């Protein structure tokens, strides 16, 4: 009875001197062509360690591998390929999934260490735009994947609640704002004021100076400025909470940039003590020429602190508070230079943990091929998109399954899930073209397609009155073998997604599994009475478990009926 785990154990007997079992396990591949075997081990990583040709290593391993429990073992170039005993292997894999259910694919690699994840982080007094979706859903998925791999996570919503934009907003409100209008429609009215400020500033550049003045007032604790700032913040959080509730996301901390105001002086003191600060045109900077980076600006010529100063204070605070083993920042590609500077300054400050800082970058969501900009008013509101997706999903339900119970709840699950899946199925580095129609299709590589496959599996299990039993023997017919092989690699996919900070690995996997199961379903009468019925339902149950868990790791709920 050989599975991927046992294949790794067999290889460890030969190569344990050079690679541990875990490394071997994660190197094992599933060949794209069935005629090349069920599992394949590439011998390239051993070539340097063993100082031998990888093809010779593969041939020697094939000769020495016991074939009693394998149907066939062969060396093809640098690959060692094995064909598994389908009945025994399927039984082992499916029993494991039935026994472990949602714990299938769990690992303890993280050993309870803490991962701090800086994610979402919208700016207050601005609407939660579609542009903030990526950081929010990528960060949440990475947290869920890390937890499955044995880490403890701290989700941090580092709100953009400080900076010169608030000086601009206060100046705009004082010039053109109406308390009545702002109270009636807070975020949209504040956005209109912000946009107007930038439009007017193009004609009257002195407005920029006025914005800087009001931010300086805010920094110095001016009562009027502070009262407006608090009001803007509270109203924004109320609006954001509606979005987070729809997305099913919560945070362990929502301390924004302002929280670090009283912690920045410590950073400046340490930089001064270590003689790292240099004056440049009246401003204070840390020179980073030895890292081939531009200077990191710590303090402006007017004494105002900057984004970098606050991020340094935040990094030190998080290390002291959470004792993280990794601190992950899920922030767009355009901030790459900032995080290179951040790490370089922390290294110069002699913080040994600077290497534990990771910038998980991502591309933009484009509308008709163009970036969306808040200051120019070219913004798509995420709440509007989610509500539209829910309405479209509801219309689909009314058309195809009008008798469905709790239609609103299912529509929310499908609509929101479609938006999340459309983001996460793309590699995070890629830009994404926004298309609501594409997201909600029940055919193709979409969230609703995977959800519908899960709901179909649940329907079959209900009709077949299937009850999983840990000791049942589940073989498989030949048609089911591609599905079984995919189920076997789920733990590897989770590991790879964690290692590469890449939820798209899981999104692509659940699409593959859904497609393989639907192909099996199309050619097999799963509920037909006979000796295979129980085994086919056992396979269906295993598929339902893995699809549901895969979607959960993306932050998506799987409805049992659609």
Cα dihedral sign, 391-396-397-402? positive
Share of residues in the chain with pLDDT > 70 (%) = 97
Mean pLDDT of 417-432: 93
Task: Give the number of C-alpha atoms closer than 13 A to the C-alpha of residue 421, restricted to the C-beta side.
Answer: 33
Task: For residue 506, tell me if it sits in a domain.
Answer: no
At which of 302, 331, 366 does a domain end? 366
Distance set, CA 151 to CA 20, 148, 204, 459 (Å): 21, 7, 53, 35
Residue-wise pLDDT for 402-415, tens only, equals 999 999 999 999 99
b (16+ CB within 10 A) / e for 489-499: bbbbbbbebbe
Q: How many whole angstroms separate alpha carbon 422 and alpha carbon 507? A: 9
pLDDT exceeds 80 at position 375:
no
Task: For residue 507, tell me if it sits in a domain.
Answer: no
At which of 318, 337, 366 does a domain end? 366
The CATH number of whichever domain residue 57 belongs to comes to 3.30.1360.70
Strand arrangement, sheet containing 283-286:
277-280, 283-286, 296-299
Task: For residue 228, tell me if it sits in a domain.
Answer: yes
pLDDT exceeds 60 at position 81:
yes
Task: For residue 475, tell me if it sits in a domain.
Answer: no
Mean pLDDT of 449-457: 97
Q: How many whole angstroms separate alpha carbon 200 and alpha carbon 205? A: 8
Find the domain containing 15 and state its range: 4-84
pLDDT recorded at residue 391 = 94
**381 secondary structure, DSSP code:** B
- The full DSSP string for 457-507 is HHHHHHHTT----TT------GGGHHHHHHHHTHHHHHHHHHHTT-THHHH
| Residue among 92, 62, 102 nearest 491 (CA) | 102
Helix (H, G, I), strand (E, B) or coil at 147: helix
Q: How many whole angstroms separate alpha carbon 385 and alpha carbon 391? A: 10
pLDDT recorded at residue 460 = 97
Residue-wise pLDDT for 491-517, tens only, equals 999 999 999 999 999 999 999 999 999
In this structure, the answer to whether residues 63 and 198 fall within a common structural domain is no
Mean pLDDT of 347-353: 97
Share of residues in the chain with pLDDT > 90 (%) = 73
In this structure, the answer to whether residues 308 and 159 fall within a common structural domain is yes
pLDDT recorded at residue 373 = 55
In this structure, the answer to whether residues 151 and 53 fall within a common structural domain is no
Return the higher-pLDDT residue of 171 and 307.
171
Q: How many whole angstroms separate alpha carbon 508 and alpha carbon 446? A: 10
Q: How many other CB atoms sit within 10 Å of the CB of residue 557?
A: 17
Least confident interval from 108-122, 146-160, 173-187: 173-187
Least confident interval from 93-97, 425-429, 477-481: 477-481
In this structure, the answer to whether residues 44 and 173 fall within a common structural domain is no
Task: For residue 513, tell me if it sits in a domain.
Answer: no
**162 secondary structure, DSSP code:** -
pLDDT exceeds 90 at position 109:
no
Residue-wise pLDDT for 480-496, tens only, equals 999 999 999 999 999 99
User: Average pLDDT, whole number, for the chain?
Assistant: 92
Q: Are 155 and 252 in contact (CB under 8 A)?
A: yes
Q: Are 319 and 156 in contact (CB under 8 A)?
A: no
Residue-wise pLDDT for 519-545, tens only, equals 999 999 999 988 889 899 999 999 999
How buried is residue 20: exposed, middle or buried, by Cβ count under 10 Å (0-12/13-18/19+)? exposed
226 phi and psi angles, rounded to 5 deg: -65, -40
Least confident interval from 262-266, 306-310, 405-409: 306-310
Task: For residue 427, tell me if it sits in a domain.
Answer: no
At which of 338, 366, 394 does a domain end? 366
pLDDT band at 372 (very low <50, low <70, confident <90, very high): low
Instruction: Quickly count helices (H) and strands (E) in the chain.
Output: 22, 12
Residue-wise pLDDT for 310-341, tens only, equals 999 999 999 999 999 999 999 999 999 999 99
Mean pLDDT of 23-50: 92
Task: For residue 310, tell me if it sits in a domain.
Answer: yes
- Take residue 496 and report the two structure tokens written for it: 């790879």
pLDDT recorded at residue 303 = 66
Task: For residue 456, tell me if it sits in a domain.
Answer: no
pLDDT exceeds 90 at position 268:
yes
pLDDT exceeds 80 at position 248:
yes
Residue-wise pLDDT for 57-78, tens only, equals 999 999 988 776 788 999 999 9
Distance set, CA 338 to CA 145, 255, 491 (Å): 26, 20, 35
Q: How far apart are the two ends of the chain, measured CA to CA in Å?
A: 38
In this structure, the answer to whether residues 50 and 141 fall within a common structural domain is no
Number of domains in the chain: 2
pLDDT exceeds 70 at position 559:
yes
**473 contact partners, CB below 8 Å, separation of at least 6:** 91
pLDDT band at 16 (very low <50, low <70, confident <90, very high): very high
Mean pLDDT of 353-379: 78
Residue-wise pLDDT for 197-220, tens only, equals 999 999 998 999 999 999 989 988
How buried is residue 436: exposed, middle or buried, by Cβ count under 10 Å (0-12/13-18/19+)? middle
pLDDT recorded at residue 292 = 96
């Amino acid at each position: 009875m050989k599975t991927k785990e046992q294949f790794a154990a067999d290889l460890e007997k030969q190569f344990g001197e050079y690679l541990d079992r875990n490394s071997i396990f994660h190197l094992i591949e599933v060949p794209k062509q069935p005629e090349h075997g069920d599992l394949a081990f590439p011998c390239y990583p051993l070539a340097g360690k063993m100082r031998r040709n990888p093809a010779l290593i593969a041939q020697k391993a094939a000769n020495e591998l016991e074939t009693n429990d394998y149907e066939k073992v062969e060396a093809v170039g640098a690959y060692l390929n094995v064909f598994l005993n389908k009945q025994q292997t399927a039984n082992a894999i499916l029993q494991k999934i039935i026994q472990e259910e949602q714990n299938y694919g769990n690992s303890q690699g993280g050993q309870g260490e803490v991962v701090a994840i800086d994610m979402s982080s919208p700016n207050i007094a601005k609407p939660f735009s579609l542009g903030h979706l990526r950081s929010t859903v990528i960060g949440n998925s990475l947290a869920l994947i890390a937890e499955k791999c044995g880490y403890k996570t701290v989700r941090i919503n580092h709100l953009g609640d400080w900076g010169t934009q608030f000086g601009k907003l206060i100046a705009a409100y004082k010039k053109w704002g109406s308390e009545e209008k702002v109270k009636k429609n807070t975020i949209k009215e504040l956005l209109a004021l912000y946009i107007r400020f930038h439009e007017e500033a193009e004609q009257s550049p002195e407005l920029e100076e006025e914005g800087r003045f009001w931010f300086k007032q805010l920094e110095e604790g001016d009562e009027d400025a502070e009262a407006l700032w608090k009001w803007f913040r509270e109203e924004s959080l109320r609006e954001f909470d509606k979005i987070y509730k729809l997305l099913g996301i919560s945070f362990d901390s929502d301390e924004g940039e302002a929280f670090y105001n009283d912690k920045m002086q410590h950073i400046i003191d340490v930089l001064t003590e270590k003689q790292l600060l240099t004056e440049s045109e009246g401003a204070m900077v840390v020179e980073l020429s030895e890292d081939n980076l531009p200077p990191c600006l710590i303090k402006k010529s007017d004494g105002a602190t900057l984004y970098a100063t606050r991020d340094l204070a935040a990094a030190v605070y998080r290390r002291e508070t959470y004792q993280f083993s990794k601190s992950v920042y899920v922030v767009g590609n355009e901030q790459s230079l900032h995080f290179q500077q951040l790490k370089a300054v922390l290294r110069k400050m002699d913080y040994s943990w600077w290497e534990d800082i990771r910038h998980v970058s991502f591309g933009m969501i484009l509308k008709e091929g163009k970036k969306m900009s808040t200051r120019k008013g070219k913004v798509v509101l995420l709440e509007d998109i989610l509500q539209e997706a829910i309405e479209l999903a509801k219309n689909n339900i009314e058309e195809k399954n009008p008798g469905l119970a709790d239609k609103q709840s299912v529509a929310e699950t499908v609509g929101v899930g479609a938006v999340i899946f459309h983001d996460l199925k793309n590699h995070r580095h890629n830009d994404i073209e926004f298309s609501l129609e594409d997201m909600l299709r029940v055919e193709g590589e979409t969230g609703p397609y995977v959800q519908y496959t899960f709901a179909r599996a649940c329907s079959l299990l209900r009709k077949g009155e299937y009850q999983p039993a840990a000791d049942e023997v589940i073989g498989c017919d030949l048609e089911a073998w591609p599905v079984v092989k995919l189920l076997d690699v789920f733990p590897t996919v989770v590991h790879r997604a964690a290692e590469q900070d890449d939820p798209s690995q899981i999104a692509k996997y659940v699409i593959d599994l859904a497609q393989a199961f639907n192909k099996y379903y199309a050619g097999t009468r799963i509920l037909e009475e006979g000796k295979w019925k129980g085994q086919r339902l056992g396979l269906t149950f295993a598929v339902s478990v893995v699809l549901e868990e895969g979607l959960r790791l993306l932050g998506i709920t799987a409805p049992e009926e659609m």
